[in-house]
Amino acid sequence: MEDKRPVWTSKYAFIVTAVGSAVGLGNIWRFPYIMGQNGGAIFLITYILLISTICFVPLMNELYIGKLTKKECVGAYESMHHNLKYLGALNPITGILIASFYFIVGGWIINYIWKSLTCAQITNYENYFSEFIQNPIYPSILTVLFIFICVFVTARGIKRGIETANKTLMPLLAVILIFLVIVSLRLPNAGAGLEYMFKPDFSKLNFHMVLAALGQAFFTLSIGMGALLTYGSYIKEDKSLVKSVYTIILSDTAFAILAGIMIFPAVFSFNMPPNSGAGLVFVTLPKIFSQIPFGNFISFAFFVLLFCAAVTSGISIVEGPCATLIERFKMSRIKACTLIFFAITLLAIPATLSFGLLGNIKLFDKNIFDFLDFLTSNVMLPLNALFLCLISGWYLKVKGINIIQNKYMAALFDIGLKYIVPIALMSLMFLGLN
């Protein structure tokens, strides 16, 4: 068992790991396609407005509760009231459930890295992707490999595993992203993609789109499953969290916008549809890569980029339940990680098979993969965030002024925590369930 609670070795280590958690498939895979389905620029404006205002509150709240209690999720909730530990336990459970579909996409990425590396010739990208995900064996093996990578890094501990991985992969991610943005902007007719991203069409503004932007903002900031609460509990010094929260929000938004600038000019340059949904990254982009000079190299760089983003977020998903097992059940980190590896694998395999062999198993009309995505993103993440805001705002009576020096911002924080964020989260869940 770890005798002492781990702490971040520096402020930079904390920021880079928190940004690593936030910047993930949500930014590079989910953000562009959700933006594509929701009208482009108008979605972006709404998203930026929401992420820089409403989202500040639950993000700050989660980190603050972690820093205050210095405990993993269950312990943190328990130290607020002993009966709340059951609500706290929902966080690591959500983590395991998210991992079991998120890590499948990690497995797909490994496949595409391999295909680019071996310069595989693919004639029909739609068919290739759908046949690949329906295959009963190959995606399952790659998913298990991806789970293993994330769990292995976490098992090495905070300093040697989590910090080192983030300090290495995040700069690499930034460099590759900038390189790919330059490549994309140099394509003919790239301006049309930029126009789509930055020239708003106000007729596309509607309530559904606003909630889609809010849901995306919560998901991308990793709010609502205790990953950030756990990361917050490792903060050593008594420094203000405000700057860290802004850095996380700004960096996450910058990565998402850059991902859009990397993808949309390429999509428009090749006259492809911007709203092709989840296949945008696995069908549309590979099709484009196959038609540009040095396409295999560019494709390799792109999927390595996705891989870095997925691993740094994946690690944070594993660390939440891992910390709970270590601190509540007095397990060693290795034992906790082994258990988590098997738990995620057990759930992820049926979810992988739900595109083929187990395709006829439907939960609320969805296959297992889609159901896990729906249950976690639309129900459990907002629910956990809602509980934590209500507990902080109404029961603990957390006051913004104790966290934020600026008294106007502190007052806004209090209103956000007690009223605005709970209402926004309830609307999100209500819409998600309808």
Q: Using CB under 6 A, which of the segments 134-142, 199-207, 219-227, 300-308 binds ligand PFF?
A: 219-227
Region near ligand PFF per CB under 6 A, out of 142-150, 180-188, 311-319, 399-407: 311-319
Among 15, 16, 18, 25, binds ligand PFF (CB under 6 A): 25
Q: Does 24 bind ligand PFF (CB under 6 A)?
A: yes
Print the binding letters for residues 352-391 with ligand PFF: x by CB under 6 A, - otherwise. Answer: ----------------------------------------
- Please state at what angle helix 333-353 crosses helix 85-117, rounded to 10 degrees: 70
Q: Which is nearer to ligand PFF, 353 or 380 (CB)?
A: 380
DSSP-assigned beta bridge partners for residue 363 = 366
Angle, vertex CA 297, rays to CA 21 and CA 306, nearest 5 = 15
In one-letter notation, the amino acid at residue 253 is T
With contact defined as beta carbons under 8 Å apart, do 11 and 243 qualify?
no
Q: Which is nearer to ligand PFF, 312 or 352 (CB)?
A: 312
In order of 15, 102, 186, 319, 416, the CA distances from 18 in angstroms are: 5, 18, 32, 12, 22
Using CB under 6 A as the binding rule, whether residue 251 contacts ligand PFF is answered as no
- Write the secondary structure of 47-73 as one string of H (helix), E (strand) and C (coil): HHHHHHCCCHHHHHHHHHHHHHHCCCH
Tell me if 196 sits within 8 A of 273, measured CB to CB. Answer: no
Is 276 a residue that touches ligand PFF (CB under 6 A)? no
Q: Which of residues 46-105 bind ligand PFF (CB under 6 A)?
A: 98
Quote the CA–CA distance of 416 and 401 in Å, as a whole number: 13
21 is a contact residue toward ligand PFF (CB under 6 A)? yes
Does residue 22 bind ligand PFF (CB under 6 A)?
Answer: yes
Q: Does 425 bind ligand PFF (CB under 6 A)?
A: no
The piece of 16-24, 243-251, 267-275, 357-365 that touches ligand PFF (CB under 6 A) is: 16-24
Q: Read off the DSSP letter of residue 82.
A: G
Q: How far is the CB of 314 from ligand PFF (least distance, A)?
A: 8
Sequential DSSP letters for 413-431: HHHIIIIIHHHHHHHHHHH
17 binds ligand PFF (CB under 6 A): no
Cα of 54 vs its chain's centroid, Å: 18
Query: How many CA atoms, within 13 angstroms, populate the side-chain half-sphere of residue 155?
Result: 15
Q: Which residue is nearest to ligand PFF (CB)?
A: 26
Which of 140, 154, 166, 220 is in the footprint of ligand PFF by CB under 6 A?
220
219 contributes a contact to ligand PFF by CB under 6 A: yes
Only one of the segments 21-29, 165-173, 184-192, 293-301 lies at the binding site for ligand PFF (rule: CB under 6 A); that segment is: 21-29
Q: Which residues pair with 366 in a beta bridge?
A: 363
From the list 50-58, 133-141, 216-224, 271-279, the region that binds ligand PFF by CB under 6 A is 216-224
Using CB under 6 A as the binding rule, the residues of this chain from 95 to 154 that contact ligand PFF are 98
Residue whose C-alpha is closest to residue 28's, from 99, 82, 109:
109
Piece of the chain touching ligand PFF by CB under 6 A; list 24-32, 35-43, 148-156, 160-168: 24-32
Nearest to 158 by CA among 167, 171, 146: 167
Q: Is residue 232 within the footprint of ligand PFF (CB under 6 A)?
A: no
Residue from the set 38, 230, 316, 384 that interacts with ligand PFF by CB under 6 A: 316
CA atoms of 379 and 312, how far apart (whole Å) = 24
Question: What is the spatial distance between Cα 137 and Cα 91, in angstroms, rounded to a whole number?
Answer: 31
Q: Contact residues for ligand PFF (CB under 6 A)?
A: 21-22, 24-27, 98, 219-220, 222, 225, 227, 313, 316-317
